[in-house]
Amino acid sequence: MEQKYVLGIVALAMVAVLGISMVSAHGFGMWNSDLTEEEKAEMQEQREVMKTSIESGDYESWETLMNEKVNQMQERINEDTFNQMQEKHANMAQIKEAVEEAKETGDWSEVEALKDELGIEGKGFGKDHFGKKGFDRMGGCPRLAK
């Protein structure tokens, strides 16, 4: 019976650590857009090390990587980062509202204006976790396909 509890706790700990690593790897959705090719390559390498260490049962390698990720996240916990996230959230809420209105009226000019004002290029607003861009995952938006 005690072994079941230990296994349950270990499983929960692994899920929590993997969640932290995903958040860290995706930078709360705001840092990845400005990464250099070198930083992207480093992140990919870390993902491979993570996968390999889990598959091979190499706890020490996994623990080292997790500690590095926790340290990186702790460095980002500050008022500037919070303010950036708050601004991005407000911008996305504004865009969402404009898109909903445009769907009803068929007038996409406000969405276009917001897109220009916020410096959003292309037809989407960034990639989701499945690699699809913006409205592409919702079937596409012909007005944003410029």
43-80 residue pLDDT tens? 899 899 889 999 999 999 999 989 988 998 899 899 99
Is residue 19 predicted with pLDDT exceeding 70? no
Residue ranges of domains in the chain: 2-77, 80-144
- pLDDT in the model for residue 119: 80
The whole-model pTM stands at 0.47
Percent of the chain with pLDDT over 70: 63
* One-letter-per-residue 3-state SS of 33-93: HHCCHHHHHHHHHHHHHHHHHHHHCCHHHHHHHHHHHHHHHHHHCCHHHHHHHHHHHHHHH
